[in-house]
Every structure is written in C-alpha cells, then in structure tokens.
Amino acid sequence: MNEKTQVVQGTFFNSFVYSVCRAMSERHGKDEAARILNRFGELLLEEILKDRRLDMADPLATLRGIADYLVTSGYMEKIEIREAEDLVYLIEMYGGPAHDSSQRLIAEGHSPSHLLTNTMFAALDAMGLRAELEHLDVSDAANTTERWQLSKKG
C-alpha cells in the first residue's frame, strides 16, 4: 500500500492526547483509565507486529524495534536504548509530542497516555518480564531519560 505522508502538528497531537486521557480519567477514574491505556499499549503492540518482526526472545532487541517503529512513524524524533548493566536499560527519548500533556495530566491527577511505555511494557509482559522505571531527567520539555530495571514476572 502506498501511504501519503501526512504531518500532524505536535501541538494538536499534544492537545488530542490530553483531551482523550482527561476524558477517560474523568469518566472512569484514574486507575481504570490507566488500565485502558495499558490495554492501548497491548493493542498497539499487536499492530506493530503486523508491520514488522520483533525478536520477542531478546528484550533489548524488542525494545529497540518498538523504538524504531515509533521514530520512523514520526511519533518521536529519536529514541536511544542502551544496556547499562544486565537487564538495566537507559532509555533516552527526544522530541516527544505528548510530554506537555503528560506533565499536565499528572499535575491534575489524571492518568497520562505513556504510549511508548505502555507499548514496551506490553512487549515485556509477553516475554514474561516486567520493568520498574525511574525518571532520571525530565528537565527538557520534549526530552526524557528513564532507567528501566527488568525482572521476571513473579
């Protein structure tokens, strides 16, 4: 299929994500909205797997494959993932259009989309893994660095 490239402005996307997430939180409560958004990540992973092959036996390769999809689709400018130590990854995200909406939703007590996180967590879950994440740097409005510690689901 030949797709026409259509550019969606980051400000629109940011407002769209904010509105959808706020509506879900208001209608269903923050915790249920988070569950819906987790399911969103699972469904997005299914769509990604229709488009490309991911090595679901290798967590680092899988996360990099999802990152590549999100960058080539135009969702983010750049995503770098490196292994700091065994099953500890540093994820650097650049040019995320929903960063402002996420910060605003969190400040207002609503559940943010966490599109990248929920999609990657769905992949890890399918591999029998889970991740604890720590925000290392969110000082820049569009760039974020996180540390992910992976472990087997218990």
Domains of the chain (ranges; CATH) run 10-152 (3.30.1380.20)
Res 138 pLDDT > 80 = no
**pLDDT of the residue at 139:** 62
> What pLDDT is recorded for position 1?
47
End-to-end C-alpha distance for the chain, whole angstroms? 42
Q: Cα(98)–Cα(74) distance, rounded to whole angstroms? A: 12
User: From CA 88, how far away is CA 67, in angstroms rounded?
Assistant: 16
pTM given for the model:
0.88
Give the per-residue pLDDT at 141.
59
Residues in the chain: 154
Distance CA 42, CA 65 (A): 15
> Using one digit for the tens of pLDDT, what is the confidence trace for 62-100?
999 999 999 998 888 999 999 999 999 999 999 877 878
> What's the pLDDT at 101?
87
**Residue range 134-151: mean pLDDT, rounded:** 79
**Does the structure show a pLDDT above 50 at 146?**
yes
pLDDT bucket at 11, cuts 50 / 70 / 90? confident
- Mean pLDDT to the nearest integer, 43-72: 95
User: What pLDDT is stored for residue 20 in this prediction?
Assistant: 95
